[in-house]
Structure 1
Amino acid sequence: MVAWRRRATRETEIAGVAIPAEAKLLIVSASANHDSRHFENGDFLDIYRDSAAEHLTFGYGNHQCMGKNFARLEMRIFIEELSRRLPHMRLSEDQQFSYLPNLAFRGPQQLLVEWDPALNPERSDPALVDRRVSFPIGAPSSKEIARTVRVADITEAADGIRILHLEDPDGLALPAWSPGAHVDLVAGEFSRKYSLCGNPSDPGYTIAVLREDKGRGGSCFIHDKVTKGMTLRLRGPKNYFRLEEQADRHVLIAGGIGITPIIAMADRLKQLGRDYTVHYCGRSRRAMAFADRLLAEHGARAVLHVSEEGSRADLASIVAGCGKSGARIHACGPARLLDSLGELCANLPEGTLRSELFVTDASGAAQPGDTAFEVELEDSDLNLTVPAGQTLLEVVRAAGIDVPSDCEEGLCGSCEVRVLEGGVDHRDRVLSASERAEGGRMMACCSRAKGLKLRLAL
C-alpha cells in the first residue's frame, strides 16, 4: 500500500500539528523517506544512498508490499541495462515538465530523451548484447551501494594526519551533509569510516586520516598508496551523531582525531549564533589537526588542552553545571575519554551527553564464556537458536528476517531491535546506562541474552 486513508476519532496532535476530530487523513508512507532524522539529505534523489534499501515506498515490516523485491529487481535490471546499452543517452534540452495529477504518485507525464544510435556500444562490441548477468532477488546490501569519487588533493594537517579532498569524477556536487556525518571510504581491500570535516556547502568532501601503524591497515594504505587523481569508492554520507542545534548551550569535546566531527559542529553553531565552547585535547600541538583553524575562527570559544604543555583537560570542571544549564555535550575521541565523560554525566538528565567512537574495543566479539540462547520472534512467529559462535543479526538474517545494519561492531545503533522479554548482555557503545537498565532495546550485531531466551519484536 502506498497510502492509507483514515479518519481521526478524536482530537490529537502529531509532530506539533493539531489534528481535529473527524479530520480525514491521507497517510503516505513514502513521505517518511524525507525524514532527516534517518535519511541524510532526504529530498535529494541519490541512487547511491547508503540507506536505499530502507526506503518506505513499499512499506516495511508487517506492512510491506509482498511484491517489493520483484519491483526492486525489475528497476535494477531496467536501470543497469539502459545505462549499459545507451550510456550516451541524455535529456532533451528545453523541455517543459508537467506532472500527473495524483495524490499517491508524483512523476512527469513525459520525459524526452535523445541519443545517437551510431554511438551504441554494441556497434563496436556485438557480444555486449549477449551478456548474461545474475540479478539476486531481495533488498540490496548497503555495503554494495557505493559511489565513485576522485582524490582532488592531499594535504598534511598535522604529524601523521593527511587531509583528503574528494570530488565527483564528473564535476557534479556530492550530496549535502550535516555536522556529525561520516562516510565509509573504500580503498583497496579496506573500508573505513571518516567524519566529514569541511564546509557542507562545498561541492566535494573533506576527510582527515590519522596514520595508525598498529591499526588494522586501512590508514596505512591510505597514507602509503592513495595519491592525487586516484578514484576510490565511497558510501554515505550517513549521520548517527547529529548535532542537537536547539539546545540552550553546547559543550563540544574532542580528543585527538575526534576533532573532525566536532569542528564541523562548531562551524555550524557559530553560523547559527549559538552559545558554545569547544575543548580540544591532544598530546602535542604538532599532532592536533585543525588546531590553528579552530583558534583563528572560533576565538575565545575554543580551548586547547595540550598534555605536552601541562594543560590537561579537567573533565569534571568542564561537565559541571551542564545539567542545570540545559547544555548538551557532544564528544568524540578515544574510548578512555568517552568512558570518563560517561561516568561524569551518569547523574545528569538523560540525553545530556552524546558521543561517538569510530574504533571498536571488540567488546561485541565472541567471548570464551558465550553460550547458545533461544529467541522467540513474536511478529514472525519463529523460534530460533543463536549458537555461541554467531550473532543474533546473523541468525535472524539467515531466517529471512530483514534487519538493517551498518558497522556491525556495536557503534552505530542501526541494527537495534526491541526486546519484549528477557535479560540482555549489552556489548554495544550506543545505549546509555539507563537505556541498558530499562532492557527494552538491544543491538543485534553484538549483544546477547543473559539467560537462555529472549522474546523480540521481530
Structure 2
Amino acid sequence: MQASANRDPRHFENPDEFDIYRHNAAEHFTFGYGAHQCMGKNIARMEMRIILDEFVRRLPHIELVEDQSFEYLPNTSFRGPTSLWVEWEPAQNPERRNRAVLENPTLFHIGAPIKEDILRRVVVDEVKREAEAVIRVGLVDPHGRELPDWTPGSHIELVSDKWRRYYSLCGTRDDRNRLSIAILRELEGRGGSVYFHDTVKPGDVLHIAGPKNHFHLDEAATRYTLIAGGIGITPIIAMADRLKALGKPYVLHYCGAGRRTMAFLERVERDHSAALTLHAGDEGCRLDLPSALSSLAEGEQVYACGPERLLEALGSLAEKWPEGTLHVEHFTARSNILDPENEHAFEVVLADSDLTLQVGNHQTLLEALTAAGVDVPSDCCEGLCGTCEVAVTDGHIDHRDLVLSRTERDANDRMMACCSRAAGKRLTLAL
C-alpha cells in the first residue's frame, strides 16, 4: 500500500505532516520499486515541475477559496480532493505588466530529485557561547512559522556555502519555533566547525536538512543509563529531558576535561541533578565504566555519545550484556577514505534486477550501484546512519560500518553499501 509505505514512521520523521522540505522526501514508493517502477516516472516529474513552475510565475496571487469543504476520492492508492476551488484577480497577472515573465521559463533538472538540494531556509536568531570552544546556535523560520517536530537523538545537517555538517538538536521540544544546535570548534577537524564558529551571526540565512534520527530512544525500557563525553551531551541532554518528562528512572554520567569545557553544564545541573554524576578530568573525577555499569538492571538500556575511545570501551563491556542493551552515536566514522592500494575489486549480482556489476578497488559499492542507475537511499556516506543498508543473500561481507551489532554482522545478511565491501570476490544482493 503506497499510502501506508509513504507514511511509515520508521522511515519518515513526522509522517503525518505535509512537508516538502523533508530530508528524505524523494524516498517515496509512489513510482514503485525495482522491476515494478513506473516507466513514465520522469515524464510525470517533468509535468509536475512545469505546472508548478507556471503557477508560481503566472499566478503568484492565487488563493484558496475560503470556507470550502473537501471531499476525498475513494481510492486505495492516491489521496486527493474531488475538487479544489481557487481564485485570483486576472488584472494582477504578472504578464499584464511585463510580457517577459512568459518568455523566461525556469531551467531545471529532469529526473529523480537531487536529495542534496532538498533544503529548508532558516535564520540564525541567536549565537551564544555555552562553554570553552562551544557555541549554541538558534535557528528559526524566516516567516515565523513553526519548524518540524523532532525526537531525542535527532540531528540536522547545517549547510552554508560549501560546508555541510551534522549537529544534534539540543533545545527543548516544546518550542516549535526554534531549533538549537551546539558546535564545538575543532581545530584538528575538517574545517566545518571552524567556519561556522568564525562566520555565523544573528540574522544570517542558512539552510538545513532534517530533522532526522538515527539514534532513537526506546521509551519502553525499564531503566536507563545515559553517558555523555564532551560535546556528546547534545543528544544525551534531549534524552534526559524526555525521560524526566515521562517519569522514567535514569542516571546521567557527564564527562569532560573540565567544567569550563562542558556545554550546558548549568542546565544539566539544574534539570537533572538528582540523576547526575559529573566527571571533570581536571578535578580528578574520571568515569570508571566497569564500576558504573557493573550492576545493570534487567531491561536497562545504555545510551552514549562521545569520543571514540569512550565508545570503544563501552563496546568491549557490552559484549557481556544482552543484545541491544547498548546504543551509541559516533561523531565520525573511523575512516571514510578508500585506499585503492589496499582494496580488491569484486563482483555484485543484483538478484531482483538480473544485473551483474563490477565494483572496482577505487569505488564503494554505493558508487557502483548509483552509477548503474540503481536507487539506493543514502545519507552520511560514512557508515554511521544505516540509510544505505542493502540485503545480502550470498557471499561474505567485510563490515566497516558503525551501525550493525555483532549479532547482526554475524548473520551476514545485510551491509552498508557506502563503506562495507565483499570479503571475497562476489556478493549477491536482493536488489
Q: Is the 8 A contact 1:282 1:288 kept in 2?
A: yes
Deviation at 1:120, TM superposition (A): 3.9
Equivalent of 2:355 in 382, 399, 406: 382
Alignment of 1:263-412 (within 5 A): 263-322=237-296, 324-363=297-336, 365-366=338-339, 368-412=341-385
Query: For the structure 1 residues 82 and 294, does the alpha-carbon distance in structure 2 shift closer, same or farther, using more than 3 Å as the test?
Result: same
- In 1, the alpha carbon distance for the partners of 2:379 and 2:249 equals 33
Q: Is the 8 A contact 2:2 2:77 kept in 1?
A: no
Deviation at 1:125, TM superposition (A): 4.7
Equivalent of 1:252 in 223, 226, 236: 226
- In 2, the alpha carbon distance for the partners of 1:112 and 1:306 equals 63
Deviation at 1:127, TM superposition (A): 2.9
Equivalent position amino acid for 1:249 in 2: R
Structure 1 residue ranges without an equivalent (≥5) = 1-27
Q: Is the 8 A contact 1:426 1:436 kept in 2?
A: yes
Q: Is the 8 A contact 2:348 2:356 kept in 1?
A: yes
SS of the counterpart of 1:140? coil
Query: For the structure 1 residues 50 and 113, does the alpha-carbon distance in structure 2 shift closer, same or farther, using more than 3 Å as the test?
Result: same
Equivalent of 2:5 in 32, 47, 54: 32
**What's 1:439 paired with?**
412
Query: For the structure 1 residues 420 and 128, does the alpha-carbon distance in structure 2 shift closer, same or farther, using more than 3 Å as the test?
Result: same
Is 1:69 the counterpart of 2:51? The answer is no
Equivalent position amino acid for 1:92 in 2: V
Q: Is the 8 A contact 1:77 1:135 kept in 2?
A: no
Equivalent position amino acid for 1:264 in 2: A
SS of the counterpart of 1:295? helix
Is 1:58 the counterpart of 2:31? The answer is yes
- In 1, the alpha carbon distance for the partners of 2:322 and 2:367 equals 35
- In 2, the alpha carbon distance for the partners of 1:102 and 1:436 equals 42
**What's 1:228 paired with?**
202
- In 2, the alpha carbon distance for the partners of 1:204 and 1:95 equals 32
Deviation larger for 295-304 or 74-83: 74-83
Is 1:261 the counterpart of 2:263? The answer is no
Per-residue CA shift, 1:31-66, capped at 9, x if unaligned? 122221111000000001111111123333344333
Per-residue CA shift, 1:83-106, capped at 9, x if unaligned? 233333332333333333444433
- In 2, the alpha carbon distance for the partners of 1:360 and 1:128 equals 49
Query: For the structure 1 residues 365 and 123, does the alpha-carbon distance in structure 2 shift closer, same or farther, using more than 3 Å as the test?
Result: farther
Q: Is the 8 A contact 1:319 1:345 kept in 2?
A: no
Q: Is the 8 A contact 2:346 2:425 kept in 1?
A: yes
- In 1, the alpha carbon distance for the partners of 2:37 and 2:415 equals 23
Deviation at 1:426, TM superposition (A): 1.4
Is 1:46 the counterpart of 2:22? The answer is no
**What's 2:83 paired with?**
110
RMSD: 1.8
Q: Is the 8 A contact 1:422 1:449 kept in 2?
A: yes
Deviation at 1:277, TM superposition (A): 1.2
**What's 1:453 paired with?**
426
Deviation at 1:238, TM superposition (A): 0.8
- In 1, the alpha carbon distance for the partners of 2:389 and 2:128 equals 38
- In 2, the alpha carbon distance for the partners of 1:257 and 1:40 equals 24
Query: For the structure 1 residues 246 and 446, does the alpha-carbon distance in structure 2 shift closer, same or farther, using more than 3 Å as the test?
Result: same
- In 2, the alpha carbon distance for the partners of 1:103 and 1:448 equals 40
Equivalent position amino acid for 1:228 in 2: P
Equivalent position amino acid for 2:339 in 1: A
Equivalent position amino acid for 1:151 in 2: V
Deviation at 1:123, TM superposition (A): 4.8
Alignment of 1:127-276 (within 5 A): 127-202=100-175, 203-276=177-250
- In 1, the alpha carbon distance for the partners of 2:281 and 2:160 equals 33
Q: Is the 8 A contact 1:422 1:455 kept in 2?
A: yes
**What's 1:14 paired with?**
none
**What's 1:88 paired with?**
61
Deviation at 1:282, TM superposition (A): 0.7
Q: Is the 8 A contact 2:3 2:76 kept in 1?
A: no
Deviation at 1:124, TM superposition (A): 5.2
Identity %: 55
Deviation at 1:309, TM superposition (A): 1.0
Between Structure 1 and Structure 2, how many residues are aligned?
Answer: 430
Deviation larger for 125-134 or 235-244: 125-134
Deviation at 1:199, TM superposition (A): 1.5
Q: TM-score, normalised by structure 2?
A: 0.95
- In 1, the alpha carbon distance for the partners of 2:124 and 2:196 equals 11
SS of the counterpart of 1:171? coil
Per-residue CA shift, 1:221-260, capped at 9, x if unaligned? 1111111011111111111111001011111111111111
